[in-house]
Amino acid sequence: MGPEQNIKRHDTDILILGTGGAGLFAALHAQQSAPPDTKITIAVKGLLGKCGCTRMVQGGYNVALGPGDTVERHFMDTIEGGKWLPNQQMAWRLCEEAVVRVQELENEIGCFFDRNPDGTLHHKAFAGQTADRTVHKGDLTGIEIINRLMEQVLSRPIERLQEHRAIGLIPTRDGAALAGVLMIDMRTGSFRFVRAKTVLMATGGGPSMYKYHTPSGDKTMDGLAMALRAGLPLRDMEMVQFHPTGLLAGDHSRMTGTVLEEGLRGAGGQLISHARQRFMFDHDDRGERATRDVVSRGIYAEMRKNNNPEQEGVFISMAHLGPENVRRKFKGMVQRCADSGFDLAAGLVEVVPTAHYFMGGVVVDVDTHTALEGLYVAGEDAGGAHGSNRLGGNGVANSTVYGGVCGDTMGADIRKMGTLRDPDEDKLAAEVERACHPLSRKATVVQPLRQKLQEAMWEDVGVLRTRTGMERGLKRIAEISGELMDLGVSPENLAFNLTWHDWLNMRSLCDVSEVIAKAALERENSRGAHFREDFPEAGELDASYFTVAQQSAGVVKMERHAVDFSIVRPGETILPEGEPETLVIST
């Protein structure tokens, strides 16, 4: 088998990559807004509704519906939590439309969220928020949302390409627009090129290039790697969110790194050192309820004090809240810990900061358009809404809000589009050749190399960063990338050839890891998830900038762009009496 093999050709009108909250919502909204004869196709690396990160959401969904809460307060929490780096138009739309979307989830999609005795939605406390605004279904919110969305999609005439891995965004010959997407049909190992008038990239993030990470191992930043090769600008790529409390179940357990949700700390959970002392109030007046970046740094600093491989993490303690109360309120978390041999309700559970969410992504406008005509991006693949730090509960809200926005936008845009576009056949052949690279080399295994990358990123481009460490990390990434190009995969049977996909996963992770490190070197201050020990100050908020990475001829270049304070400036706040166009500002 080689690059010259026959490529299957497939046409559709609207192509959606990914079946998380963004992809499924986009499919439903596109069907409502597009002309009746529009063909809609969903492609997913795994099985529809059974993979991705939205399904793994535990904590909940931020929406300003609680007593005394307002969209303006939610917006200000998002801006301040993001350390004044968010795209303010995107952040406002997220907070405003979350109210609409959560009602749609309940009344049209069929979700059931927890309620108070009076019938109102129950809101629990999450860090960094001035009101309890996280709507939830116990601590298994994502499963509820995805299951109901999946039912809706399966009941409609939407074409499904399951176990199809997207590997390349293929432009037209003049490079002015997107013609379609090259995929691998994982069931056969064959290539399929799908032309489409509009394409939504909602493949999710997944910073699994770190030693401790929450996403499943098949989440490998494929979308951002494809966007990078397509020459699209990527913003905030240094902003990797570490969730403070990832389960530490041992190096040989796949449960290591999985999240113990933020609601545990919101409910009063305490972080305890190996000396059995609380320590978070040494780092922030809010203690355990500080934002994720602050708590992660506090835990990491405590870990460095130990310098003992037998005492790597810290502990979370819930027993003082009453074991039966904890078992009732956090059934999913208690069971998850029990599966790994820990008693969350009555004992101590060891935790460690774990790479959880990626605030960076493709530069988009508030309607999800990108710089490439025909390509739209929503969910974790899109940058801008969160700035340097995502508030817990804003992730699934972001995916579902902008998934719906994108579906509406594509449905409207497609009415103005003509015929399908023809691809640049040279670019198509180059992407096939790129994927086939390991098939002509001696077969081996890839996993040890992935572990090397995870160690390098954790040690050199992790929770606390320095120029020396990141420069060392870039050298390690380059060496690992070189080693990867020498690894091979047996071409005899490419159907569900997991070693081949391990290799492709590693290629994506190496490409994106390089950009993370270069963006982190470019930011010479500390904001949100990005903390440099050699530049510990946040810098002037009025002079805030975000980093933009763009690849040309295989070389990644970095720029700084000034933040547009289009709604509110540092030192100002929004009064709830305002409307989006006529916001009342008080200093």
265 is catalytic: yes
CB 297 within 8 A of CB 463: yes
d(CA 372, CA 370): 5
The answer for residues whose C-beta is within 8 angstroms of residue 364's C-beta and 6 or more apart is: 90, 370, 376, 377, 378, 382, 383, 384
SS3 labels along 237-256: CCCEEEEEEEECCCCCCCCC
Residue 346's Cβ-count burial label (10 Å; 0-12, 13-18, 19+) is middle
Q: What angle do CA 173, 179, 182 make, to 5 degrees?
A: 105
With b for 16 or more beta-carbon neighbours within 10 A and e for fewer, the 531-567 pattern comes to bbeebeeeeeeeebbbbbbbbeeeebebeeeebeeeb
d(CA 499, CA 494): 9
Amino acid identity, residue 230?
A
SS3 labels along 168-235: EEEECCCCCEEEEEEEEECCCCEEEEEECCEEEECCCCCCCCCCCECCCCCCCCHHHHHHHHCCCCEE
The answer for residues whose C-beta is within 8 angstroms of residue 322's C-beta and 6 or more apart is: none
CB 121 within 8 A of CB 65: yes
Q: Which of 243, 289, 327, 527 is catalytic?
A: 243
Q: Which residue has the tokens 């796949």?
A: 254
d(CA 154, CA 157): 8
Q: Which residues pair with 240 in a beta bridge?
A: 358
d(CA 300, CA 352): 8
156 is catalytic: no
d(CA 293, CA 279): 15
Backbone angles phi, psi at 482, to 5 degrees: -65, -40
Conformation bin of residue 110: beta by default, left when phi > 0, alpha when psi is -120 to 50: left
Supply the residues annotated as catalytic.
Answer: 243, 265
